[in-house]
Amino acid sequence: MTQVTPDFSLADQPEAEFRDYITLLKPRVMRLVVFTAIAGMLAAPAATHPVIAVAALICIAVGAGASGALNMWWDADIDAMMERTSARPIPAGQVGGEEALGIGIGLSILSVGTLAVVANPLAAGLLAFTIFFYAVIYSMWLKRATPQNIVIGGAAGAFPPMIAWAAATGEIGVAPILMFLVIFLWTPPHFWALALFRTDDYTRVGVPMLPVVAGEPATRRQIWVYTLLMVPTPVALAFTDAGGPLLLIVGLIANVAFLKGAWAVSRRSAEDAAADRYRAEKKLFGVSIAYLFAIFGAVMADAVLHALVPGLPWPVLI
Amino acid sequence: MRRDHELHGRRRGRNIGVLAALIGFAVLLFLVTIVKMGGQAGNPWG
């Protein structure tokens, strides 16, 4: 005879699957981090052994994931109330808060320590600062305190190509600073385009996103201003030692697409947007994602071009 | 006969995932060590 005695005490506790741990590391953000970091690594004027390059990229990705876990631990209360984030592992009850905190801290220490050994202390220090910036300065201090949260917090997402460059060369030059600026200035229009059609979520949880605090017209103006500040950066990057003709061509085309989308959003009223369910804003959000992949894809393509055609005549002006 | 609770299955899957990640990390460190040692690899007397 078969006798089964279920242990009901287990059912009350979160029992994560491995994929819940992966979700905790924000794999979509990690994808962007890895992509821009690969660009920084390839464009760096230093020959890095492939094993060292891959190890450094894994450290950067894991560090970014660790900061994502810390962010989810801190924001679990508001994540539970927002439609976009309510299915995350902590509000969904799949991972405990303290477990997420432990994973975040553990992976932070592991990734920074390993990067110091694999690459150099500069790259490890930059990665540690990035994790601190995202988890503490953005998540804990700014996100719930100021409508400029996304502007300052965007710096955290802008560091990965600089860290990869530092891992390869041991120093920071003009090119990685411009790569940083591309992402830093891209973040506000990218995120505010999303925030315009997700206002309800942020209003409900009291996060002072710009459209909630300053209103839609001010947000639309800010999107245009940041777009104008952003567009020179990929063009300038094209004339550094990380640039080339492909980046110049792709940068100019991508700039036109971004300017067009941002201009359309900046000229609309809330009524226009509501009438077509924020079509232009959704389009700008999509264009902004394609923009970043195009720019950093072109940086990679130029690195390959320079490797295939040594001595390719190209003016390095900056 | 003892039938596993669904939670046991989940825990097993998680443990295998963590084990795979740890093995991957150990292999990565091994490869990095070999590369860092360069020409000295396999020859501790130089």
State residue A3's pLDDT score: 61
Residue A1 has pLDDT above 60, yes or no: no
Of the pLDDT bands very low, low, confident and very high (cuts 50, 70, 90), residue B39 is low
- B21: closest chain A residue by CA: A18
Picking from B3, B7, B32, the nearest residue to A118 by CB comes out as B32
Instruction: Please tell me the distance from the alpha carbon of residue A27 to that of residue A265, in angstroms, as a whole number.
Output: 29
Summarised one tens digit per residue, pLDDT across range A174-226 is 999 999 999 999 999 999 999 898 887 888 888 888 888 898 999 999 999 99
State residue A26's pLDDT score: 93
Instruction: Supply φ then ψ for residue A171, to 5 degrees.
Output: -150, 175
State residue B41's pLDDT score: 55
Residue A249 has pLDDT above 90, yes or no: yes
CA A195 to chain centre: 16
Query: Could you give the dihedral angle defined by the CA atoms of residues A125, A131, A136 and A139, in that order, rounded to the nearest 10 degrees?
Result: 150
Percent of chain A with pLDDT over 70: 96
Higher pLDDT: A240 or A11? It is: A240
The end-to-end CA distance of chain B, in Å, is 60
**Mean per-residue pLDDT for A84-103?**
92
Higher pLDDT: A245 or A84? It is: A245
Asked if B1's CB is within 8 angstroms of A2's CB, the reply is yes
State residue A228's pLDDT score: 98
Asked if A2's CB is within 8 angstroms of B14's CB, the reply is no
CA distances from A312 to A47, A246, A307, A315 (A): 18, 12, 9, 10
State residue A198's pLDDT score: 82
Asked if B17's CB is within 8 angstroms of A18's CB, the reply is yes
- Among residues A21, A158, A5, A134, which one has the least CA distance to residue A67? A134
Query: What is residue B5's DSSP assignment?
Result: P
**Range A313-317 contact pairs with CB under 8 angstroms and sequence separation of 24 or more:** A314/A243, A314/A244, A314/A245, A315/A239, A316/A239, A316/A240, A316/A241, A316/A243, A317/A239, A317/A240
Picking from A2, A6, A51, the nearest residue to B5 by CB comes out as A6
**Mean per-residue pLDDT for A169-178?**
95
State residue B13's pLDDT score: 87
Q: Using beta carbons and an 8 Å cutoff, which residues of B are at the interface with A?
A: 1-3, 5, 7, 10-11, 13-14, 16-18, 28-29, 31-32, 34-36
Residue B1 has pLDDT above 70, yes or no: no
H runs (alpha helix) in chain B: 6-37
- Dihedral sign, Cα of residue A172, residue A70, residue A117, residue B33: negative
Question: Contact at 8 Å (CB) between A224 and A264?
Answer: no
pTM equals 0.90
Of the pLDDT bands very low, low, confident and very high (cuts 50, 70, 90), residue A316 is confident
Q: Which residue type does A250 have?
A: V
Residues 6+ apart with CB under 8 A from A49: B35
State residue A187's pLDDT score: 95
Question: Contact at 8 Å (CB) between A79 and A91?
Answer: yes
Of the pLDDT bands very low, low, confident and very high (cuts 50, 70, 90), residue B7 is confident
**Range B8-17 contact pairs with CB under 8 angstroms and sequence separation of 24 or more:** B10/A15, B10/A16, B10/A17, B11/A15, B13/A17, B13/A18, B14/A16, B14/A17, B14/A18, B14/A21, B16/A18, B17/A17, B17/A18, B17/A19, B17/A21
State residue B43's pLDDT score: 57
Q: Which residues of A touch B34 (CB under 8 A)?
A: 51
Higher pLDDT: A67 or A149? It is: A67
Question: For the ranges A71-75, A225-229, B36-40, which has the lowest average pLDDT?
Answer: B36-40
ipTM of the complex: 0.80
Question: For the ranges A21-25, A58-62, A150-154, which has the lowest average pLDDT?
Answer: A150-154
- A49: closest chain B residue by CA: B35
Q: Which residues of B touch A17 (CB under 8 A)?
A: 10, 13-14, 17
Mean confidence (pLDDT) of chain A: 92
Copy the structure tokens of residue A273: 């947007």
Percent of chain B with pLDDT over 90: 46
Copy the structure tokens of residue A88: 């995350």
Summarised one tens digit per residue, pLDDT across range A257-303 is 999 999 999 999 888 888 888 999 999 999 999 999 999 999 999 99
Instruction: Please tell me the distance from the alpha carbon of residue A95 to that of residue A69, in angstroms, as a whole number.
Output: 11
